[in-house]
Structure 1
Amino acid sequence: MSTTTPSRQPLPDKREPVLNTVDRVTELCFGLFMALTFVGAIKAVTAGEDAGRKLFFAALGCNLAWGLADAVMFLVRTLADRGQRLSLALTVKREQDPAAAVQALRNALPPALEPLVDDNELELIRSRLAAATTLPPRAHFQRDDFIGAIGIFLLVVISTFPVALPFLLVSDHVTALVISRVLTLAMLFAAGFALGRYTGAGALKAGFAMTLLGTVLTAAIIALGG
């Protein structure tokens, strides 16, 4: 009686998020800090009925510009990283000396991982790269790169509203400033909370730490003329 080994079914592709939690938190906080520099300079805003409007649109314009710049730099960084990885793969594939190829892979490992990976494991990677037939000659942008760039732009711009919108909706600047600061602290805490859960550092602890860090960093930015 013959037996047949069941064929291995391919696992469905697991789609990774375009921006991970660290990306989202850092971009959101960056937008908050940029908007806070304008709120911290509230005394410098021209007095009058449209002072709040001027402050809101000044903060929004700043974050629109920085959101665009940050999105473009995200694309540059993504393509550069992809190009560096592809260059390593092509170097290993074309290297005739297996030992030299393995050493190239070892040199590319992060210092924390290097002692944990032996040459036999790197040789498996080298042999797979040597047999690969689908490596592109150069790095290219992918659709998700542009989705990520748009996401970064929107995160920086959206972070303007909790900070600056109260000055557009509330005529009393003192009250608007209190609302703005409360919303900002809440967002900083939420950002730290999410980051703490993602890294396993403790959500509540990270939330309070991010709130404190954001307060100190904003004060430093304003003091330095930001």
Structure 2
Amino acid sequence: MNTPQVAIENLEAMREPVLDVVDRVSEMLFGLFMALTFVGAVSTSAGPDAGHLMLRAALGCNLAWGLVDAVMFLMRTLANRGQRLKLELAIKHEPDSARAAQIIRESLPRTMKTLVDDTELEVFRTRLAATPTPTGRPGLDAADLLGALRIFGIVVLSTFPVALPFVLVDHVPLALLISRVLTLAMLFVGGMALGHHAGFGAMRAGIGMTALGLALTMAIIALGG
């Protein structure tokens, strides 16, 4: 595949918001650590309904933050789409072809700027100039709403492996052990997914994410979480 085609596909891939592996794992970890902030209090609580109270508190917190994350995703998507539309119009309406090519170059990711020369940028500019001029304002569609819903679902569902053992198991130390094991398993699987996606080794990334999760958990506990 030649360089201008790479540049075109790179810009085209940026047109629609994509909830990729990094996004999914990040949202899962966010929900996981939010739920973890409620676990420490359970192990020292003497109340007979401590597990249910903790589950309700953790679930309520993640419902709220899942909603916030979903709305912010939609806002970010709309803002990025507006920025891309502004860029496309600027290129199409620029009478100086050299200046239009420079606008394209400035919009490329830093690693792409040195890989594309002016001739290749002119090919892209010519193709873009031949496309219909977009009209109207940027908006959201069903795919965007589905992405926001997935974010909300990931954050909320991350609550249950951490909090549910305290509802299902009456013995708090055992429930705490189960919760921690499930948390570490989720961290490991999330790390493996990131490692596989990034290409630097799934197993190594899983172990690293687990270690990072342990460090973050201790930090949460130390900070009063």
Partner in structure 2 of residue 84 of structure 1: 83
Partner in structure 2 of residue 12 of structure 1: none
Higher helix proportion? 2
For structure 2, list consecutive stretches of 5 or more residues without a partner in the other structure. 1-15
In 2, the alpha carbon distance for the partners of 1:79 and 1:197 equals 30
Partner in structure 2 of residue 23 of structure 1: 23
Q: Is the 8 A contact 2:40 2:221 kept in 1?
A: yes
> TM-score, with normalisation over the residues of structure 1?
0.88
> TM-score, with normalisation over the residues of structure 2?
0.88
Aligned pairs (5 A) from 1:1-226: 18-43=18-43, 45=45, 47-226=46-225
Please give the root-mean-square deviation of Cα atoms over the aligned residues, in Å.
Answer: 1.6
Q: Greater CA radius of gyration, 1 or 2?
A: 1
**Amino acid across the alignment from 1:94:** H
Partner in structure 1 of residue 6 of structure 2: none
Q: Is the 8 A contact 2:192 2:206 kept in 1?
A: yes
For structure 1, list consecutive stretches of 5 or more residues without a partner in the other structure. 1-15
Partner in structure 2 of residue 5 of structure 1: none
Q: CA deviation at 1:136?
A: 3.2
Match of 2:111, SS state, is: coil
Bigger Cα displacement from structure 2, 124-133 vs 167-176: 124-133
Q: CA deviation at 1:201?
A: 1.0
**Amino acid across the alignment from 2:188:** F
Residues 155, 131 of structure 1: CA spacing in aligned structure 2 closer, same or farther, 3 A cutoff?
A: same
Q: Stretches of 4+ moved more than 6 A in 1?
A: none
In 2, the alpha carbon distance for the partners of 1:75 and 1:222 equals 33
Identity rate of aligned residues, in percent?
62
Q: Is the 8 A contact 1:41 1:222 kept in 2?
A: no
Q: CA deviation at 1:44?
A: 5.9
Q: CA deviation at 1:134?
A: 4.7
